[in-house]
Structure 1
Amino acid sequence: MRLRKKPWARPELEACDFFVSNPTANIGKWHTVFGNSNEIWLELGCGKGGFISKLASSNPDINFIAVDIKDEVLILAKQKIEKEFASVNLSTNNIRLMAHEIMIIHKILNENDVVNRIYINFCNPWHKNTLGARRLTHPNQLNQYKSFLAPDGQIWFKTDDEILFNASVKYFEQCDFNISFLTEDLHGSNFDKNVVTEHEKMYSEQGHKIKFLIAENRSHTIKIK
């Protein structure tokens, strides 16, 4: 469903102390932005922020970068993050929210930023053969992530889409990732570190099984120009 244009969204985002209006200016300097050397975890496609708000507020010693493209979505994420952090009486120092095209994520992160974990939750499956390269788990994207993902860094991937999931398993293997955990029924598994997203709740209530895997980077960093 399309979100209506919100002319007030960008001004409100710009006034937010954890929104980054020009993320490309910080490439290679994200640890300086956060002011510490804590691990960085990245969510690609944060949507309305339900997932990242709970994850970041429960892990104050981890730095979080949340990326999406539409102001109309990001403003909802911003509000949800503020509400969640206020409910546990924490500052938002460990999270940064930004608008950026994920297909060129290497424009805002490089090998100096060292991301330890990437979350990809319920991304567009792009079923048409001509659009498969736009999948966030496609080798084109995985090789971009390797330009800033730690050598032992992880990608946590969730989807309800069987076609996308099966293709992604092959993509990860093709790009020299080790799949250390895999289930085609996350909620029926013994995995106890799951944070439920808005889409996950909706699809589960509709009877869909949630597919999930953890892929570990086991190859050297790739430099992207």
Structure 2
Amino acid sequence: MRNKPWADGYIKAHSDYIVTDPKNWLGKWQDRFEKKQPLNVEVGTGKGQFIIRNAQEHPEINYIGVELQKSVIATALRKFMEAPLPNLQFVLTDGADLDEIFLADEIQKIFLNFSDPWPKKRHAKRRLTSPNFLKNYQKVLAPQGDIEFKTDNRGLFEYTLVTMNHFPMTFDYVSLDLHQSPENETNIETEYEEKFSPNGPIYKLIAHFNS
């Protein structure tokens, strides 16, 4: 996304809903919500459609959307501010730092939606389902907490199946064509998913770490 000149000012003006110093909130995230409730986190929240709709449909859960790109998260924040919700916060930070901003076992679910596939082999460690990222997720996920992963990239999906299987993790759900499955009735789409799903299948899995 192109740089948004208004992003800095907009983020500063809405600091009640977005955090730019996440390490200072370690152990205090629930203080930012109206109620203390189970916490779900989306890594790479993009323009916000997915996490906003989840927060709307599940007021009994608190949500945090993590995004590294300032212009992108500012766009999500502006969309959110059209009808603010008490159970959603945004965090401007790198998803690789989850274990530095959340306590052990603090998160119930992590969403990974249409992450950058980093197709070149030498960039594999940057993939959000690489072993190093999985180690970080394991630290912050509660026992039996899970990861929900969606992509339209077959190579990234196959890579993720392998890395999670070897970790090891247990697969609770695997679909090679989500939009043609019964589960699609409750599927919440991202902006990217809406735009590109006509071009091919959407792959999804849900998995948890073995205890």
Partners of 1:118 and 1:145 lie apart in 2 by: 8
- In the TM superposition, what is the alpha-carbon distance from 1:11 to its structure 2 partner? 1.5
| Structure-2 separation of matches of 1:102 and 1:52 | 15
In the alignment, which residue of structure 2 is the partner of 1:28? 27
The DSSP-based 3-state class of the residue aligned with 2:81 is helix
Q: Supply the AA of the counterpart residue of 1:55.
A: N
Matched residue type, 1:119: F
Letter in 2 for 1:183: S
Please list, as runs of the form range in 1=range in 2, the aligned pairs for 1:1-225 lying within 5 A after superposition. 3-16=1-14, 17-34=16-33, 36-83=35-82, 86=83, 91-111=84-104, 114-191=106-183, 192-205=185-198, 207-219=199-211
Structure 2 CA distance for aligned equivalents of residues 76 and 134 of structure 1: 24
Name the structure with the higher helix share: 2
Which residue identity does 1:10 align to in structure 2?
D
- For 1:134, give the aligned amino acid: R
CA distance in 2, matches of 1:51, 1:82: 15
Distance 1:35 1:93, change over 3 A: closer
Provide the rounded CA distance (Å) in 1 between the counterparts of 2:152 and 2:12.
Answer: 34
User: Offset at 1:111?
Assistant: 0.9
One-letter amino acid of the structure 1 residue matched with residue 93 of structure 2: H
Partner of 1:222: none
* Per-residue deviation, 1:73: 0.5
- Distance (whole Å) between structure 1 residues aligned to residue 174 and residue 119 of structure 2: 22
Distance 1:55 1:166 in 2: 27
What residue ranges of structure 1 are gaps of 5+ in the alignment? 220-225
**Cα pair 1:152 1:217 within 8 Å, conserved:** yes
Distance 1:12 1:33 in 2: 19
Cα deviations across residues 126-182 of structure 1 (Å, max 9, x unaligned)?
Answer: 111110011001111011011110110010000000110011011111222210100
Per-residue deviation, 1:35: 5.4
Deviation at 1:189, TM superposition (A): 0.8
Tell me if the contact between 2:20 and 2:93 (Cα under 8 Å) persists in the aligned partners.
no
Verify the 8 A CA contact 1:103 1:134 in the aligned structure 2: no
Shift of 1:71: 1.5
Q: How many equivalent pairs are there?
A: 209
The DSSP-based 3-state class of the residue aligned with 1:147 is: helix
Instruction: State the distance in 2 between where 1:213 and 1:58 align.
Output: 21
AA aligned opposite 1:61? E
Query: In the TM superposition, what is the alpha-carbon distance from 1:103 to its structure 2 partner?
Result: 1.9
CA displacement, residues 15-69 of structure 1 (integer Å, 9 cap, x when unaligned): 1121112111011222233354310000000001111111111111111010111
TM-score by length of 2: 0.94
CA RMSD of aligned residues (A): 1.4
* Identity %, equivalent residues: 34
C-alpha contact (below 8 Å) 1:26/1:33 kept by paired residues: no
Structure 2, unpaired ranges of 5+? none
Preserved CA contact (<8 Å) 2:98 2:140: no
